[in-house]
Amino acid sequence: MTTTETQNYKVADLSLADEGRLLIDWAESRMPVLMSLREKFEKTKPLAGHRIAGCLHVTKETAVLIRTLKAAGAEVSWSGCNPLSTNDAVAAALAQEDIRMYAWYGQDTEGFYWSIDRTLDFKPTMTLDDGADLIFRVHSHHQDLMEGIIGGSEETTTGVHRLRAMAADGKLEYPVIAVNDAETKWDFDNVYGTGQSSLDGILRATSVLLAGKNFVTAGYGHCGKGCAMRAKGMGANVIATEVKPTAALKANLEGVRVMTMDEAAKIGDVFITTTGMKDVIVKHHFESMKDGAIVSNTGHYDCEINIAELKEMAVSSREMRDNCIEYTLSDGRRIYVLAEGRLVNLAAAEGHPSEVMDMSFANQFQAMMMLAREGKDLGKGVHELPEELDQEIAKIKLDAMGLGLDVLTPEQIAYSTDYSQGT
Ligand code: 3DD
């Protein structure tokens, strides 16, 4: 693949920039919270003097976050956090907007880490991550930059889990804000975003009818629940597999059948893994699957479906459609893998809708502001955003949606702390 490269960017094709600008305009028209933050801070530029290195899926929504960080005064460099999630038109548009952009769809492993390294050339003062690959790269290959870094942020569940493990091991050398743990992120992005975008990816890659199909979600956490909810809405018979008793119980009480993956493998038509765990669908599951079974993943890394074992079992394979490879087994059964087992919502579609990323990225913006204000006072480790921020973000969203809120009267406020009034 030929790319367009200068010292300050490497993208697939700069001539796609016009298309990228249209996509970003579309996203901006549906992200009122971020746009209100941009309007609020573009004059005072509180992030002036800061250099933010980002490693997060390069989508039309991420472009709105990047533009907002820049409008608030920051210098920004960026790489994609997954080899298959970069929208090349958006990357091209950002490369023309004085953003140090190193991202292109279909990167190999070398290109992926080369891109991360380039984003560090301007010696960032803050890092912004989705999956902790950037923070981990700084710790493993660029310790010399640590002194100049005030702190970082982390977008996703898997990344926060990884950073908490690093901190527990005493290996996390600077403060990181867990954006994923903000309610206006996880309870919207992970549920409604993942639910809609994962089905979007499955349908773009297969165009199968979901109604009547046995739809198996491995995991019934926020993401799995979102996928189950949306599949149910499309008329699928939803099945959940779990390792956590309370999650399995919730699935059952919400009308989702619960069984082991060994059992689900025999009857499933469409599978999606949402667990963040490795080897969730493996060889003996493929051996049980029906002819025509479709497997996909929406977890951050591509470790949940053991494709290497499927490749060993298959006697042949062929690419049926974009992001859809057919593996034929020795007895003639065919199994379809979507997006090479990578996150199907971003690799085969456009990720979550702008409306929900609006709140996730408002939290990212506020995390950068918090680091600029008090990062030096935050100790090493994983930190949370202040809870009141959630209500602030949700209120801006509601206002933009024209949805009214009731307000507690003084008497009600007094009542809420008056323990003397019983039945
Ligand atoms: N993620 C999903 N859709 C996205 C989009 N449209 N732009 C950027 C990132 C996007 C990933 C996030 O959901 C992140 O919150 C995660 O992985 O948890």
Residue 156 Cβ inside 6 Å of ligand 1? The answer reads: yes
Ligand 1, closest atom to CA 157?
18
Instruction: List the beta bridge partners of residue 9.
Output: 6, 101
pLDDT score of 265 more than 80: yes
Query: Residue 145, CB half-sphere, CA atoms under 13 Å: how many?
Result: 26
The neighbouring-strand residues paired with 52 are 76, 126
Specify the residue for token string 């669908």.
281
pTM: 0.94
Mutation test residue for ligand 1: of 26, 55, 57, the one with most atoms within 8 Å of CB: 57
Nearest CA to ligand 1 atom 9: 57
Give the per-residue pLDDT at 2: 58
Band of residue 7 on the pLDDT scale cut at 50, 70, 90: confident
Mean pLDDT, rounded, of the chain:
96
3 falls in which pLDDT band (50, 70, 90)? low
- Average confidence (pLDDT) over 76-105: 97
**Tens digits of residue pLDDT in 58-86:** 999 999 999 999 999 999 999 999 999 99
150: confidence class by pLDDT, cuts 50, 70, 90: very high
> How far apart are the CA of 352 and the centre of ligand 1, in A?
6
Q: Give the per-residue pLDDT at 73.
A: 98
Determine the Cα–Cα distance for residues 337 and 327; give it in Å rounded to an integer.
8
Choosing among 3.30.110.40, 3.40.50.720, 3.10.690.10, 3.30.420.40, the CATH entry for 192-347 is 3.40.50.720
- Rounded average pLDDT over 179-188: 96
Residue 194, phi-psi category: left (phi > 0), alpha (psi -120 to 50), beta (remainder): alpha
Residue 360 CB–ligand 1 contact under 6 Å: yes
Domain ranges of the chain: 4-187+351-400, 192-347
Q: What values do phi and psi take at 78, rounded to 5?
A: -150, 140
Angle CA 410–411–417, to nearest 5: 95
pLDDT 10s digits, 36-65: 999 999 999 999 999 999 999 999 999 999
The CB of 155 under 6 Å from ligand 1? The reply is yes
What's the 199 CA to ligand 1 centre distance in angstroms?
A: 14
**What pLDDT score does 422 carry?**
85
Confidence of residue 192 (pLDDT cuts 50, 70, 90): very high
Q: How far apart are CA 115 and CA 374, in angstroms?
A: 29
Residue nearest to atom 10 of ligand 1 (CA): 351
Out of 162, 360, 361, mutate this one to test ligand 1's pocket (max ligand atoms within 8 Å of CB): namely: 360
Protein residue whose Cα sits closest to atom 5 of ligand 1 = 351
Q: Which atom of ligand 1 is nearest to the CA of 185?
A: 15
Query: Which CATH superfamily is 4-187+351-400 part of?
Result: Adenosylhomocysteinase-like (3.40.50.1480)
**Residue 340: exposed, middle, or buried by beta-carbon count in 10 A (0-12, 13-18, 19+)?**
middle
Radius of gyration of the chain (CA): 22
Q: Which ligand 1 atom is nearest residue 131's CA?
A: 17
What are the Cα distances from residue 419, in Å, to 58, 207, 414, 415?
51, 58, 10, 8
Query: What pLDDT was estimated at residue 163?
Result: 97
Ligand 1: centre distance to CA 57 (Å): 7
pLDDT tens, 341-386?
999 999 999 999 999 999 999 999 999 999 999 999 999 999 999 9
List for the chain the helix, strand, coil content (%; round to 5): 50, 15, 35
Q: What percent of the chain has pLDDT over 70?
A: 99
Tell me, yes or no, if the two domains 4-187+351-400 and 192-347 fold the same way.
Answer: yes
